[in-house]
Amino acid sequence: MGLELTGIVVIGTQFGDEGKGKITDFLSEKADIVARFQGGNNAGHTVKVAEHTVKLHHLPSGVMHNKTVMIGAGVIIDPKVLEEELKTIESIGKKPGLFIDPRCHIIMPWHNALDIAGEESNNGSIGTTKRGIGPCYADKCLRKGIRFEDLVYERRLEEAIERIFPEKKKILEKVYGKKIDFSAESVFKEYSRLGKKFAPFLKDVSFHVCAQLEKGKEILFEGAQGTFLDNDFGTYPYVTSSHPLSGGVATGIGIPINKISRVVGIVKAYTTRVGNGPFPTELQGKQADDLREKGEEFGTTTGRARRVGWLDIPMLRTAHRLNGFTELAITKLDVLSGMKELKVAVEYDIGGKIVKNFPYSTSTVEKAKPVYKTVKGFTLSGKEKKFSELPKEAKDYLKLIEESLGVPVKFVSVGPERNETIIC
Q: Which residues are catalytic?
A: 17, 45
User: Rounded to an integer, what distance in angstroms lies between the CA atom of residue 403 and that of residue 316?
Assistant: 12
> Using alpha carbons only, how large is the chain's radius of gyration in Å?
22
Distance of CA 105 to the CA centre of its chain: 18
CA–CA gap between residue 258 and residue 267 (Å, rounded): 24
CA dist 147 and 82 (Å) reads 15
3-class state of residue 368 by DSSP? coil
Pairing between β-strand 311-312 and β-strand 307-309 as defined by DSSP bridges: unpaired
Q: Which residue type, as a one-letter code, is found at position 379?
A: T
CB 227 within 8 A of CB 18: no
Residues 6+ apart with CB under 8 A from 186: none
Nearest one of 270, 277, 265, 268 to 239, comparing CA atoms = 277
Q: How far apart are CA 33 and CA 201, in angstroms?
A: 15
